[in-house]
């Protein structure tokens, strides 16, 4: 008899897709764990167009790497995701969660967290050493192109490279990946504790709410200057960057 997980316990974020993983509960008796295989339902609103093509590709990879498991496509079409969210809410209320489900990273997760339907994976990241991983391909590209670093503003990129989830607002958040591998996150003051406890970072720099000082762009320029100096950029360039007058970005 095939088993399907029931107890929803963990959240794992990926670029563009937030999945909620279930633990290895057993519906019909038998050994605990997933070694015997079973069903894994993936609940999304990726039901048509390029999104469906992407999901189909994931199904192929999953099936190749996990032949003992059956991939159950729980996609719900319609309403640009709203229909799927309604179905999901009903299933969670009746203690019938899918093995994984799609959600947007950031504030959208608050209701699930408040209702005790998901938990973080920080302990697992620490246990597996995932927090120490860094994209070597990106470092090689920075070195090959002679760059001192790269600045990421997109929330999905920040989530992928640092494990920090946030909902974009008028307060900018930027991740600076230096060529030496240092990860620095620039955040508003109220996000400092969140960043320090939830993300895989080497450094967190804060700015005050407008019109307070320092401004976001001032802090970002300072971090960029540090990255340039660490990459042995010309002294005059670093000095000019540090002395550059602040210009509002309109954010």
Q: Find, among 220, 239, 219, the residue nearest to 229 by Cα.
A: 239
Against a cut of 0.85, is the pTM above it?
A: no
User: Token pair of 133, please?
Assistant: 């991983």
Checking if the pLDDT of 24 tops 70, the result is no
pLDDT of residue 150: 84
160 burial via Cβ count (<10 Å: 0-12, 13-18, 19+): middle
- Does domain 8-120 fall under CATH 3.40.190.10? My reply is yes
Question: In terms of CATH, what superfamily is 134-242?
Answer: Creatinase/prolidase N-terminal domain (3.40.350.10)
pLDDT of res. 205? 93
At residue 146, the 3 state secondary structure works out as: coil
pLDDT tens-digit series, residues 62-107: 889 889 999 999 999 887 788 988 999 899 889 888 888 887 655 5
pLDDT value, residue 185: 93
Measured in degrees and rounded to the nearest 5, phi and psi for residue 27 equal: -75, -30
d(CA 245, CA 108): 37
Domain boundaries, given as residue ranges, for the chain = 8-120, 134-242
Structure tokens at 214: 């320092």
Of the candidates 217, 147, 227, 229, the residue with the CA atom closest to the CA atom of residue 186: 217
Task: Give the distance from CA 152 to its chain's centroid.
Answer: 13
Beta-bridge partner residues of 150: 177
Q: What is the pLDDT of residue 240?
A: 82
Range with top average pLDDT, 21-30, 85-94, 148-157: 85-94
Distances (CA, A) of 240 to 45, 122, 229: 49, 40, 12
Mind listing the pLDDT tens digit for each residue in 203-245?
Answer: 999 998 777 788 888 898 888 888 888 878 788 878 887 877 6
pLDDT of the residue at 21: 39
Strand partners, 38: 69
State pLDDT tens for residues 161-179: 888 888 888 888 999 988 7
């Amino acid at each position: 008899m095939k088993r399907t997980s029931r107890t929803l316990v963990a959240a794992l974020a990926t670029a563009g897709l937030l999945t909620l993983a279930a633990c290895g509960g057993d519906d019909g008796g038998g050994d605990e764990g997933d070694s015997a295989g079973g069903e894994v339902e993936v609940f999304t609103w990726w039901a048509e167009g390029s999104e469906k093509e992407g999901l189909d590709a994931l199904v192929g990879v999953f099936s190749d790497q996990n032949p003992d498991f059956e991939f159950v496509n729980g996609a719900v079409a319609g309403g640009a995701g709203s229909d799927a969210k309604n179905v999901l809410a009903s299933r969670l209320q009746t203690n019938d969660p899918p093995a994984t489900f799609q959600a947007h990273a950031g504030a959208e997760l608050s209701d699930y967290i408040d209702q005790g339907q998901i938990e973080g994976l920080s302990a697992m990241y620490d246990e597996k050493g995932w927090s120490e991983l860094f994209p070597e391909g990106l470092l090689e590209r920075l070195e090959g192109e002679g760059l001192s670093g790269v600045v990421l503003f997109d929330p999905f990129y920040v989530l992928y490279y640092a494990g920090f989830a946030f909902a974009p607002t008028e307060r900018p958040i930027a991740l600076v990946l230096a060529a030496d591998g240092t990860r620095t996150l620039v955040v508003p003051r109220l996000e400092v504790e969140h960043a320090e406890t939830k993300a895989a970072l080497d450094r967190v720099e804060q700015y005050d709410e407008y019109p307070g000082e320092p401004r976001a762009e001032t802090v970002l320029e300072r971090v960029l200057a540090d990255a340039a100096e660490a990459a042995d950029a010309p002294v005059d360039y670093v000095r000019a960057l540090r002395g550059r007058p602040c210009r509002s970005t309109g954010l």
